[in-house]
Structure 1
Amino acid sequence: MADDDTSPRRAAATAMAAAAQQWLDTLSAEQRSVAVGAVPTDGDDDAERRRWFYTPTDHGGLTMHEQSPTQQRGAMRLVASGLSMAGYVTVATVMGLENVLDRIEGFVARFDRERGRDPGLYYLRVFGDPAGPTWGWRFGGHHVSLNNLVVDGELVSTTPCFLGADPATSPLLGGIVNRPLARVEDLGRELVRSLPRDLYDRAVLLDKAPSDLVTVNRTTVAEGDRVLPLAAIWRHERFPDDGEQAKLQAASDRIDEVADYSDDDHAVLEYTLAPKGIAGRDLGGEQREVLRALLGTYFDRVPEGVSPSPTYDDAALDAVHFAWAGPTDPGAPHYYRLQGPNLLIEWDNTQRDANHAHSVWRDPAADFGLDVLAAHRARHH
């Protein structure tokens, strides 16, 4: 970690600590009992901090519904401290899409809550004391999961970082289209379609897309990970209401039926430590710039100076592998993966007739800052 008190990661940590403390100071004792979690560690007592979701389930923490307007503003101030302006606008837009999705579905979705599509059911939790040496915070709800860790006054981890959009495409007045993750999708397609036949054949692993992200919301990723059914990625194994559970299971089954993945298909696309697809070193100059721009749609979600984009020199870009599954025509269900040292990115737009997008940026070796926490424990204990 840098010693410079003015480094961007220290500046970000300072802003986060101030926003977190300001928010916590407005909470009642009852609210704080929900809003504050255990001090981050690299041990089993830190398991809750490392649980993350992107389904409309209980993400853990104080919901926006449970806060006054002043408290909600404080919560969003903390969220903003971990995002670039573009990242913040995207998060706010994704939250607002809950109202759009509710209309699309006929205002009937419920799951295990009063309202299934609810922009007030986004959860914030601070782990530890913002004035202490080790603390973090998590913000999440349907299609948003932000996970940040501060150690010794420096922001050391911002992954997993998940953003989705449902609907991925929706109309605005005047014929304009609302696509919050447009470039995240389009740059991937532009890259694969630009490849000469030999590289295309190596990059496209399958001609059909999986139903979801391959590593889904696992706390850690490991060799052989495969897609899980939708019904398996909620906080609780079952809904209390048998009827709602049956609806979820039926939806989960339909998604898997549409994907039509065999065991062999899953084996082709499963996560492996050895990256699949083609490497950045195989690409020409213009293609490398598209790859760099695509990485930026993930890295630049966090504040300027914290984003790793500037560190991706030619050597780093050489080591990033790109793989695709599904057709490359716009509007068709598809998936891509970017993988390299300390990097795993996944995108899919497959469900709801390819109008339901997921994107995640991870560091398989250091998600949730576990590498820094282990080093910190070794130094101080």
Structure 2
Amino acid sequence: MRIFKTKTPDSLFTSSSKIVELAKAFAATLTDDQHRDLNQHYSLRNAVNWSNLPQNLLGRRRRRGLRVGTLSGKQWTALNALLSAATGSSKNNGYDEIQQILNADDHLRDNGGGSDYGRENFYVSFLGAPSDYGKWELQFGGHHLAVANTYINGALVGATPSFRGIEPFSTFEYNGVNNQPQQQAQSAFEALLTSFDDGQLAVARLSDKYSDVLLGPGKDWAFPNTVTGIRGSELRVSQRALLLAAIKTYVSSVDDENAARILAGYEGELDSTYVGYSCSKSMSKARDYIRIDGPSVWIEFSMRCGIIFSDPHPHAVWRDKNTDYGGTAP
């Protein structure tokens, strides 16, 4: 399969108006049939219809939207320009992470995974019409990836649920580059846990074991009623900085301007944000698990057993208790 790439633009376009412009420019490259697949009604039912599984394993909950395997080179270029503007610009985050996850799925396809894997099986959809007025959502995802940016009246009002996963966890070469963006998040979590003394580790240790994230697809608003772990107010200044750095690895999935705004909000809630973990501090072995649970932020990182390759690989989800799906709730 041909792979169409575009580099991140030198000038960052973070305004909703520019994103709307690029969304319309992408749509303008499509055929009538592709348009029908791309444009979906904005509803909570459509918004919650995402997953981290390959499309052919989803049964009745298959993704709706435009299968990107139908795109031409020109259409890929237009889609990449939109994704680049709507997501973060830093290395191993945002647009760069998306490209590496697509490379990973091609790598799985080519190394035993077969036709269920590969970037051609990812989907893009517009829930509602891209506009500076009203509500619409840019939805892009496939195996190990869910992007859900919701805009209301020209403002990004929600960038969650946001799912990231990748297999293998070891660095692999594909598409001319070395890939493994989530080693960055793993290192941030390991640095945080390694900074804890024995007393802090005892408070942070969770009683349960976890084989995956709790709040994956289909688990909307299922946040635990009881907060567990060590509270941010009990951390030293240097440890709070490590906690914020770990949060940043997920918030940086959205465009830089909005990421800074969201991160500042989470920073203001650090005193009441809890860290809990299970199994080892390395966050590199099967069943290693960590969560960040704040008044707003919820992040989980879980090491899963390998599927195509033998080594464990990460699943991670970022949710926001107030702005999941742009604040749309049942």
Is TM > 0.5 for Structure 1 vs Structure 2? yes
Residues of 2 paired with 1:274 and 1:61: CA distance?
Answer: 37
**Cα shift at 1:171:** 4.0
**Cα shift at 1:356:** 1.4
Q: Please say if 1:99 is aligned against 2:113.
A: no
Check 1:283–1:85 CA distance in 2 against 1; reply closer, same or farther (3 A cut). same
**Cα shift at 1:312:** 3.9
Residues of 1 paired with 2:35 and 2:255: CA distance?
Answer: 27
Residues of 2 paired with 1:330 and 1:78: CA distance?
Answer: 33
Q: Please say if 1:299 is aligned against 2:251.
A: yes
Residues of 1 paired with 2:154 and 2:53: CA distance?
Answer: 32
Residues of 1 paired with 2:283 and 2:303: CA distance?
Answer: 11
Residues of 2 paired with 1:34 and 1:197: CA distance?
Answer: 54
Give the letter for the 2:196 counterpart. Answer: L
Residues of 2 paired with 1:329 and 1:13: CA distance?
Answer: 39
Q: Deviations over 1:252-273 (max 9, x none)?
A: xxxxxxxxxxxxxxxxxxx513
**Cα shift at 1:364:** 2.6
Residues of 2 paired with 1:55 and 1:159: CA distance?
Answer: 17
**1:79 corresponds to:** 83
Q: Please say if 1:130 is aligned against 2:130.
A: yes
Give the letter for the 1:284 counterpart. Answer: R
**1:50 corresponds to:** 48
Q: Deviations over 1:116-164 (max 9, x none)?
A: 1112111000111213422221000111100011111211111111111
Q: Please say if 1:23 is aligned against 2:26.
A: yes
Q: Is the 8 A contact 2:26 2:78 kept in 1?
A: yes
**Cα shift at 1:188:** 1.1
Q: Please say if 1:70 is aligned against 2:74.
A: yes
Residues of 2 paired with 1:133 and 1:103: CA distance?
Answer: 42
**1:166 corresponds to:** 167
Residues of 1 paired with 2:247 and 2:179: CA distance?
Answer: 22
Q: Is the 8 A contact 1:331 1:354 kept in 2?
A: no
- More displaced 10-residue stretch of structure 1: 272-281 or 323-332: 323-332
Q: Please say if 1:143 is aligned against 2:144.
A: yes
**1:196 corresponds to:** 197
Residues of 2 paired with 1:127 and 1:177: CA distance?
Answer: 34
Residues of 2 paired with 1:91 and 1:324: CA distance?
Answer: 26
Residues of 1 paired with 2:159 and 2:143: CA distance?
Answer: 18
- Provide the aligned C-alpha RMSD in A: 2.3
Residues of 2 paired with 1:330 and 1:136: CA distance?
Answer: 33
Give the letter for the 2:252 counterpart. Answer: D
Residues of 1 paired with 2:283 and 2:326: CA distance?
Answer: 37
**Cα shift at 1:331:** 3.7
**2:285 corresponds to:** 332
Give the letter for the 2:279 counterpart. Answer: G
Q: Deviations over 1:268-302 (max 9, x none)?
A: xxx51332101111111221111111111011111
- More displaced 10-residue stretch of structure 1: 349-358 or 134-143: 349-358
Q: Please say if 1:347 is aligned against 2:291.
A: no
Secondary structure in 1 matching 2:256: coil
Secondary structure in 2 matching 1:211: coil
Residues of 1 paired with 2:284 and 2:135: CA distance?
Answer: 45
Secondary structure in 2 matching 1:146: strand
Q: Is the 8 A contact 1:203 1:277 kept in 2?
A: yes
Query: What percentage of aligned pairs have identical amino acids?
Result: 23
Secondary structure in 1 matching 2:119: coil
Residues of 1 paired with 2:17 and 2:200: CA distance?
Answer: 45
**Cα shift at 1:101:** 2.0
When normalised by structure 2's length, the TM-score is 0.84
Within 5 A, what are the aligned runs for 1:239-250? none
**1:322 corresponds to:** 275
Q: Is the 8 A contact 1:209 1:350 kept in 2?
A: no
Within 5 A, what are the aligned runs for 1:206-285? 206=207, 209-218=209-218, 220-222=220-222, 271-285=223-237
**Cα shift at 1:59:** 2.7
Secondary structure in 1 matching 2:147: strand
Give the letter for the 2:127 counterpart. Answer: F
Secondary structure in 1 matching 2:277: strand
Residues of 2 paired with 1:361 and 1:188: CA distance?
Answer: 14
**Cα shift at 1:329:** 4.1
Residues of 2 paired with 1:30 and 1:348: CA distance?
Answer: 39
Give the letter for the 1:296 counterpart. Answer: K
**Cα shift at 1:20:** 0.9
Q: Is the 8 A contact 1:51 1:219 kept in 2?
A: no
Q: Please say if 1:357 is aligned against 2:310.
A: no
Q: Any stretches of 5+ residues in structure 1 without a counterpart?
A: 1-9, 223-270, 375-381
Secondary structure in 2 matching 1:85: coil
Check 1:30–1:210 CA distance in 2 against 1; reply closer, same or farther (3 A cut). same
Give the letter for the 2:166 counterpart. Answer: A
**Cα shift at 1:209:** 4.3
Q: Deviations over 1:104-126 (max 9, x none)?
A: 4x3xx35xxxx111121110001
Give the letter for the 1:217 counterpart. Answer: P
Residues of 2 paired with 1:73 and 1:155: CA distance?
Answer: 23
Q: Deviations over 1:31-58 (max 9, x none)?
A: 11111001x3xxxx53012211111114
Residues of 2 paired with 1:139 and 1:14: CA distance?
Answer: 19
Q: Is the 8 A contact 1:335 1:350 kept in 2?
A: no
